[in-house]
């Protein structure tokens, strides 16, 4: 048929809007959005016809296409996933999964007005920090505490408050990059401090610090290099000794712990990480740490330590720009409260539960799921139960892996195996709840340490819209 004839057959916006399908769409998305989507669908049809292609011209089909566009656009961008990467605290997957009590507290804070900066005893204006001060001091042994947006902000705020236009002394072995654009020297510059590097990459001694301390020194800064290790001929000055050196010159010692655990992880068979309470007891005047790393809460940055220094931090105008919202404050309070009962922490705190989960339990789960996954993916792949080595992630305990178990999914055909593997990974990501694994030794590996919802995982596998198995046996449509 001639292009002109086809063009004349394209329905008008009004004709499309009169269809039943358009009625359904208006009910769901409102008239404004539907009219725009119908226009867009008609534009696409016109372009198709002009270029000689075949397009469905019936008004009802145009309405269906508009509805599909709106459905697609309405899908939230924030999508849950199954984190089967083997990295428990995966920064790109949102780090810690929160405890149920924390979730409930956050929901309650969202739904109602809360006494955020309001003293219910006096009826007068209160202080946001008073909500968490008691718990934080109790759990860390510090005199005072404050909470802001994240630990990167905590470091920035502490440096800016105590060492603006002054020297901040740091060991060359601790000038770390945490990721993205967060490099200690850059943060120091932005905080307005003069960075004074002491020691060398592998060795820094007490005398290096002592010689660098002057009247211009604002603080001595110690960074827990939790995301890397130097081995061999190394020396660092323990925080306890550093505190004595700094205090000898009347200068505060700040210890950025990064992950900052509140309990001794050795209890759960993991390597000992310095706890916040230890850092405080070792004489740090301020300690900074994250909320969503080992602590297992929402994103947050904690600063605990000397009362007079926290008071100075609270007067810094930057504090207001970095402050914490009521939703996360509620979740943090509930998370911290769990630490009062360490015996039941493993049951209640998902991060710790994942870290402490026994390998035998994970292996049994892998054994149950292997045939289910194999049946779903077809003959083109081999699914086997394999040993895995989970990591904690987010720069915590980088050396330590935890024995785990999972599934290795391997394309059977050797030709094009790399591409087959990529499309398999893509197919699993395209499931209603994306399944994220990692590729190792020519297989897609799903470490099952963080999989708690077994039934949900199986149902998700069955509900795949774009077939995982293409029926002709290669399993990789």
Ligand X SMILES: *Cc1c(COP(=O)(O)O)cnc(C)c1O
Q: What residue ranges bind ligand X (CB under 6 A)?
A: 150-152, 155, 178, 223-224, 226-227, 256, 258-259, 290, 301, 395
Q: Rounded to the nearest whole angstrom, what is the least distance from the CB of residue 296 to ligand X in the complex? A: 13
- Which is closer to ligand X, CB of 90 or CB of 224? 224
Nearest one of 406, 404, 408, 409 to 391, comparing CA atoms: 404
- Which is closer to ligand X, CB of 146 or CB of 290? 290
Nearest one of 228, 227, 288 to 255, comparing CA atoms: 288
Q: By the 8 A CB rule, do 335 and 104 touch?
A: no
| Secondary structure string (H, E, C) spanning 31-62 | HHHHHHHHHHHHHHHHHHHHCCCCCCCCHHHH
Report the Cα–Cα distance between both ends of the chain, in Å, rounded.
Answer: 35
Q: Rounded to the nearest whole angstrom, what is the least distance from the CB of residue 69 to ligand X in the complex? A: 38
d(CA 369, CA 438): 17
Cβ-Cβ contacts under 8 Å for 94 (sequence gap 6 or more): none
Residue whose C-beta lies closest to ligand X: 258
Q: Rounded to the nearest whole angstrom, what is the least distance from the CB of residue 224 to ligand X in the complex? A: 5
d(CA 279, CA 260): 9
- Which is closer to ligand X, CB of 273 or CB of 410? 273
- Which is closer to ligand X, CB of 311 or CB of 321? 321
Q: Rounded to the nearest whole angstrom, what is the least distance from the CB of residue 180 to ligand X in the complex? A: 9
Q: Rounded to the nearest whole angstrom, what is the least distance from the CB of residue 46 to ligand X in the complex? A: 50
Three-state DSSP class for residue 221: strand
Continuous segment of H or E residues that includes residue 258 = strand 253-258
- Which is closer to ligand X, CB of 34 or CB of 178? 178
Q: Is the dihedral of CA 253, 259, 264, 266 positive or negative?
A: negative
Q: Rounded to the nearest whole angstrom, what is the least distance from the CB of residue 56 to ligand X in the complex? A: 50
- Which is closer to ligand X, CB of 65 or CB of 225? 225
- Which is closer to ligand X, CB of 279 or CB of 468? 279
- Segments of 280-326 assigned E as strands: 286-290, 301-305
Cβ-Cβ contacts under 8 Å for 77 (sequence gap 6 or more): none
Q: Rounded to the nearest whole angstrom, what is the least distance from the CB of residue 253 to ligand X in the complex? A: 15
Q: Rounded to the nearest whole angstrom, what is the least distance from the CB of residue 109 to ligand X in the complex? A: 21
d(CA 46, CA 52): 10
Q: Rounded to the nearest whole angstrom, what is the least distance from the CB of residue 222 to ligand X in the complex? A: 10
d(CA 450, CA 89): 10
- Which is closer to ligand X, CB of 59 or CB of 96? 96
Nearest one of 92, 84, 104, 154 to 433, comparing CA atoms: 84
d(CA 324, CA 128): 9
Q: What angle do CA 254, 200, 91 make, to 5 degrees?
A: 55
Q: Rounded to the nearest whole angstrom, what is the least distance from the CB of residue 83 to ligand X in the complex? A: 18
Count of beta carbons in the 10 Å neighbourhood of residue 117: 13
- Which is closer to ligand X, CB of 270 or CB of 445? 270
- Which is closer to ligand X, CB of 155 or CB of 435? 155
């Amino acid at each position: 048929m001639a292009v002109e004839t086809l063009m004349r057959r394209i329905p008008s916006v009004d004709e499309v809007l009169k269809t039943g399908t358009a009625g359904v769409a208006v009910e769901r998305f409102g008239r404004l959005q539907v009219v725009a989507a119908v226009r867009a669908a008609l534009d696409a049809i016109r372009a198709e016809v002009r270029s000689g292609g075949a397009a469905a011209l019936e008004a009802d089909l145009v309405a269906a296409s508009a509805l599909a566009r709106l459905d697609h656009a309405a899908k939230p961008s924030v999508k849950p996933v199954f984190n089967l990467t083997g990295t428990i605290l995966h920064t790109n997957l949102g780090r810690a999964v929160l405890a149920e009590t924390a979730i409930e507290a956050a929901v309650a804070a969202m739904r109602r007005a809360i006494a955020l900066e309001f003293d219910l005893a006096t009826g007068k204006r209160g202080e946001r920090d008073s909500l968490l001060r008691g718990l934080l001091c109790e759990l860390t042994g510090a005199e005072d505490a404050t909470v802001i947006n994240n630990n990167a902000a905590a470091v920035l705020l502490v440096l800016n408050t105590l060492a603006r236009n002054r020297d901040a002394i740091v060991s060359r072995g601790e000038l770390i990059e945490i990721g993205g654009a967060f490099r200690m020297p850059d943060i120091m510059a932005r905080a307005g401090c003069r960075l004074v590097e002491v020691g060398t990459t592998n060795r820094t001694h007490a005398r290096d610090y002592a010689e660098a301390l002057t009247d211009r020194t604002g603080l001595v800064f110690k960074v827990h290099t939790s995301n890397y290790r130097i081995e061999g001929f190394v020396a660092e000055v323990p925080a306890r000794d550093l505190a004595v050196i700094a205090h000898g010159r009347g200068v505060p010692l700040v210890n950025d712990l990064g992950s900052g655990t509140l309990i001794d992880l050795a209890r759960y068979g993991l390597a000992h990480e310095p706890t916040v309470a230890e850092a405080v007891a070792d004489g740090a005047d301020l300690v900074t740490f994250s909320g969503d790393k080992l602590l297992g809460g929402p994103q947050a940055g904690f600063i605990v330590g000397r009362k007079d220094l926290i008071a100075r931090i609270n007067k810094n105008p930057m504090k207001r720009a970095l402050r914490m919202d009521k939703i996360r404050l509620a979740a943090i309070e509930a998370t911290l409260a769990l630490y009062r009962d360490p015996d039941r922490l493993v049951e209640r705190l998902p991060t710790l539960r994942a870290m402490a989960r026994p390998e035998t339990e994970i292996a049994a789960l892998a054994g149950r799921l292997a045939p289910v996954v194999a049946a779903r993916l077809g003959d083109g792949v081999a699914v086997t139960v394999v040993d895995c080595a989970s990591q904690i992630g987010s720069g915590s305990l980088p050396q330590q892996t935890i024995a785990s178990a999972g599934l290795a999914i391997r394309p059977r055909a050797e030709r094009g195996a790399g591409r087959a593997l990529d499309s398999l990974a893509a197919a699993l990501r395209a499931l209603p709840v994306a399944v994220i694994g990692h590729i190792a030794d020519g297989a897609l590996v799903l470490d099952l340490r963080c999989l708690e919802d077994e039934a949900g995982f199986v149902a998700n596998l069955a509900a795949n819209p774009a077939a995982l198995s293409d029926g002709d046996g290669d399993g990789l449509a």
